[in-house]
Structure 1
Amino acid sequence: MSNGYRTEAISLDYAAYTRAVMDLTMRLAEVIFTAGAGAEDATAAMMAITRAYGLKGTDANITHTIIQLTHEDPVSHESISRSRNVKYRSLDYSKLTATSELIADLIEEPMDIVEARKRLAVIVSSKPQVPVWLRRIGWSLVGAGAAVLIGGGPVVALAAFVATYLIDLITSALDHRQVPLFYQTVVGGAIGPLVAAVVQIVEPAANSSLVVVATIIMLLAGVTTFGAVHDTLSGFYLTGTARMVEALLITGGLVTGVSGSALLLGKVGLQLQIDANPFVTLAELPILLAASVVIVIGFALAVQVPWRALWVVCLLGALAEFLYIAGTNAGFGLVWSSASSAMGVGLAAAVAARIVRTPPLVIMVTALVPLVPGLTLFRGLMQFSEGDINGLLSMLTAAAVAMSLAAGALLSQYVVQYIWGPARRLQRRFVGPLMALPVRMGRGTSKRIDRI
């Protein structure tokens, strides 16, 4: 009898320990997933943490907003399952980085579960790195920098700053009132043409339509195209497809808002015309590189990139713009120039991530924001509204550019991680690159990750 009671007590203790580890693991995965990590990163994190705490036979999966973790008890062969529904996602790279560092500590040297939960609670409940008003200024800098990047002067840049500030202010208020995201984007898209109309009245010589393009770039900067492509190429087809539908929904709301507002302005005699020359001379190059840095700084403030990585993303943002300009002037076209630029930035980000101790995902996404195809999308909208079938081609080109940016950056990380690390076994277990986890670049390090 005593042996039976002892066995039952051990079984109960093991079950309680298993549930505690699974609960901690789910919480960590939820934080990085909601902060911007891909499904594969969150899944790999769950597998690595449970393995580090001694739980074998664990299976993890993510389907769009559902995070699942299952473990089979080796004694009773009964399965213990946990799931969480992630209802809200927003880019928060400071929280993502801090949680990634905690995951690295747990993988290398598992600490007491209670202590680990306390550290995670501190990360989740800590004050934002950047206050709300400064994040709003950040989005405004994205708009102002984008206006200069596509050829706008001081008046247009100021108008774009004001327009993007209003967009963020109004869409944030709508979000607090739980208005669906599609309608938020419709309202945000409609503001750009209205501000452009004011500029056209106040300063007729200014190219007011560039204000609309700047607001489009600002609104597209936070779209989940990168994550959707990452999840799809990594084999998480349902999650990737759902995120792609979300990106299309946001873009559809943007198109609806911009075209509806432009149509209304056309009825009162105010026509928006595109007059932007994508060809760049050497004399304009310094201005465009400076504008790309302004965009990167603004986006970094908006999504709270860690301060220690700010100089790196600025440098790589300028590099991305330079490679893109070089590619287009060499005749490679928009899509291939975007892909090659993303590839180059991704390779540089692999090295920079080690220097500033920040996940490559944070660096790459921020540095590639200046290449968002806002001008191509707006040109397609104007052509389509005028009955020109070439408008559809322009919009498809914009989608292809967005996809090429994500695919190029992902390919660079896959090449780096396959050649430089982690171990081959990790690459056999996971299809795509891990970009939000503390993967050590070296064959002899991070043994716990290599044994996943």
Structure 2
Amino acid sequence: METRDAPAPLTRPLAWMGLRKSAMDLAVEPPLSPMAPVDLDDDGAVTDVLNLALEIGGILLSSGEGAADTVAQAESVAAAFGLPGATVEVTFTSLTIGVNRRRGRPPISVIRVVNYRTVDMTRVTRVSRLIDLIVRRQLTVDQATAEVERIVASPHPHSFRVAVLGWAMLGCAVVIQLGGSPLAGLISMVSTFALMYANRYLDRHRLPSFFQQVVGGFIAAAWALAAYVAVSNNFIEVQPSQLVAAGIIVLLAGLTLVGAIEDAITGFPVTSAGRGVETMVMTGGVLGGITIALAAFERLGMSPPPIDPAIAGNAAVHIAVFAAGVGAAGFAVASYATVRATWLAAAVGAIGMLIFQAVMATGLGVVVGSALAACTMGLIGGILARIATVPPLVVTIAGITPFLPGLSVYRGLSALTSDQTGIGLGLMFQALAIAVALAAGIVFGEWVTRNLRRSAAADG
């Protein structure tokens, strides 16, 4: 009988070379014999295992993990403690786990509703390592439950001020990546500080997230237009489209558009629809705030310059690559990632931009470039994450953030508000196509990595 340490075929070089397995690699392999099989007749013991698996799944789902990976890892936890027949179902923010027992004993199920909160990638890293220990039979149920409680109760690894600095790094990097000047990057940083602190204040007063997005969109657009008006007569070039695009990416980076598309690709259409509607509503809030700012400035006789029909930024390749790395690192800091994960995210973001620029130079277009860049980031990010013992999710989410189609969204909105309906809809559809390309590329790249690392035992 094969074990997890059985020799891997040469067609799977990452397994043959002994690359460390991630929690997802272990989750898709046959479970080892449990350390202490749970008594299926003991309602309390079975419920404890189900609650533990569901708590871990809730942390993963609330942090942006796809539904398919959440299900696989939660089920692997249940199987490790003697419940290989446990089934997990994800429906938007609701997780349900159930298990059938012997004849004459009723099945047991547990349900949990996930409340989205600030994403903490350090928490995800700790949970991933916990899953690794559980699946390798190194913890009891009580020990694992206690560790989950410590993870949930632990504070963020750094303060909110540092996280906002990460968001500001992302905003500045996006502007530079799009060809903006250092002054424009600095203006974007100030705008990001303003909108993040404003949203934090509104969140403390329990204002619904939609209206927070409206305020954020208004601040991003108003600040960009004000900066343009202030410096346009001083021979200093500031493009409002670059500043607003950076604000859009900052506001939408924490949402789940790419995750929603990933869920649709991996077979969770209901959850995908829920996430997609949520993202559309929140994006509508951002666009509403931008529209209000544009209308207000137009009323005051201060209109932005005409929108350039080009989609991609025009920064030099080496500058764009550096900016993408900084932007990915900024998002990692904003998401409370570890120092090691932040460096990896920077490397993956820079590599992705290098691939994107190479594809754009061939004339294949921004959608194809985004897809190939995301595929590369999924593949290389997965390998580097396994080497550095951090979850691939932490690296890939940060890596693709600078590629979100903020500029396309803003230009599409500007065209729609200028009665250029055809152009505006085309740009909006192109933004959606870019998001689909990013999601598909990440899913495919990670799938390739998992199959290259897949051991012989997983075929059993």
TM range, normalised to the smaller chain? 0.7 to 0.9
Alignment of 1:443 with 2:456, yes or no, is yes
Residue in 2 aligned with 1:409? 442
Alignment of 1:392 with 2:419, yes or no, is no
Q: How does 1:39-438 map to 2 (within 5 A)?
A: 39-74=67-102, 76-109=104-137, 111-204=139-232, 205-209=236-240, 210-273=242-305, 274-275=307-308, 284-389=316-421, 390-417=423-450, 419-422=451-454
SS in 2 for 1:331: coil
User: Relative to 1, partners in 2 of residues 1:147 and 1:371: Cα closer, same or farther, differing over 3 Å?
Assistant: same
Bigger RCO (CA 8 Å, 6+ sep):
2
Distance in 2 between residues matched to 1:98 and 1:38, nearest whole Å: 18
Distance in 1 between residues matched to 2:407 and 2:40, nearest whole Å: 62
Distance in 2 between residues matched to 1:20 and 1:59, nearest whole Å: 15
User: Relative to 1, partners in 2 of residues 1:320 and 1:56: Cα closer, same or farther, differing over 3 Å?
Assistant: closer
Does the 8 Å CA contact 1:308/1:356 hold for their aligned counterparts? Answer: yes
Distance in 2 between residues matched to 1:12 and 1:408, nearest whole Å: 42
Distance in 1 between residues matched to 2:312 and 2:252, nearest whole Å: 23
Distance in 2 between residues matched to 1:421 and 1:208, nearest whole Å: 46
SS in 1 for 2:42: helix
Distance in 2 between residues matched to 1:203 and 1:177, nearest whole Å: 35
Does the 8 Å CA contact 2:383/2:449 hold for their aligned counterparts? Answer: no
Distance in 1 between residues matched to 2:313 and 2:340, nearest whole Å: 32
Residue in 2 aligned with 1:425? none
Distance in 2 between residues matched to 1:305 and 1:73, nearest whole Å: 40
User: Relative to 1, partners in 2 of residues 1:271 and 1:121: Cα closer, same or farther, differing over 3 Å?
Assistant: same
- Higher mean alpha-carbon deviation, 272-281 vs 202-211, is at 272-281
User: Relative to 1, partners in 2 of residues 1:110 and 1:15: Cα closer, same or farther, differing over 3 Å?
Assistant: farther
User: Relative to 1, partners in 2 of residues 1:161 and 1:24: Cα closer, same or farther, differing over 3 Å?
Assistant: same
Distance in 2 between residues matched to 1:350 and 1:401, nearest whole Å: 21
TM-score with structure 1 setting the length: 0.87
User: Relative to 1, partners in 2 of residues 1:12 and 1:155: Cα closer, same or farther, differing over 3 Å?
Assistant: closer
Distance in 2 between residues matched to 1:257 and 1:117, nearest whole Å: 44
SS in 2 for 1:420: helix
Distance in 1 between residues matched to 2:259 and 2:71, nearest whole Å: 14
Identical residues among aligned pairs (%): 29
Deviation at 1:87, TM superposition (A): 2.2
Deviation at 1:197, TM superposition (A): 2.7
Does the 8 Å CA contact 1:37/1:96 hold for their aligned counterparts? Answer: no
Equivalences, count: 417
- Higher mean alpha-carbon deviation, 85-94 vs 376-385, is at 85-94
Please give the per-residue CA displacement for 1:358-390, whole angstroms capped at 9, x wherever unaligned: 121211111111111111111111111110121
SS in 2 for 1:269: coil
Deviation at 1:206, TM superposition (A): 2.4
Distance in 2 between residues matched to 1:141 and 1:280, nearest whole Å: 18
Distance in 2 between residues matched to 1:111 and 1:239, nearest whole Å: 32
Instruction: Tell me the amino acid that sits aligned with residue 349 of structure 1.
Output: G
Residue in 2 aligned with 1:30? 58
Distance in 2 between residues matched to 1:134 and 1:11, nearest whole Å: 47
Residue in 1 aligned with 2:6? none
Distance in 1 between residues matched to 2:218 and 2:336, nearest whole Å: 27
SS in 2 for 1:223: coil
Instruction: Tell me the amino acid that sits aligned with residue 235 of structure 1.
Output: G
Deviation at 1:11, TM superposition (A): 7.6
Residue in 2 aligned with 1:5? none
SS in 2 for 1:203: helix
Does the 8 Å CA contact 1:420/1:443 hold for their aligned counterparts? Answer: no
Residue in 2 aligned with 1:433? none
Deviation at 1:111, TM superposition (A): 2.1
In structure 2, the gaps of 5 or more residues are: 1-37
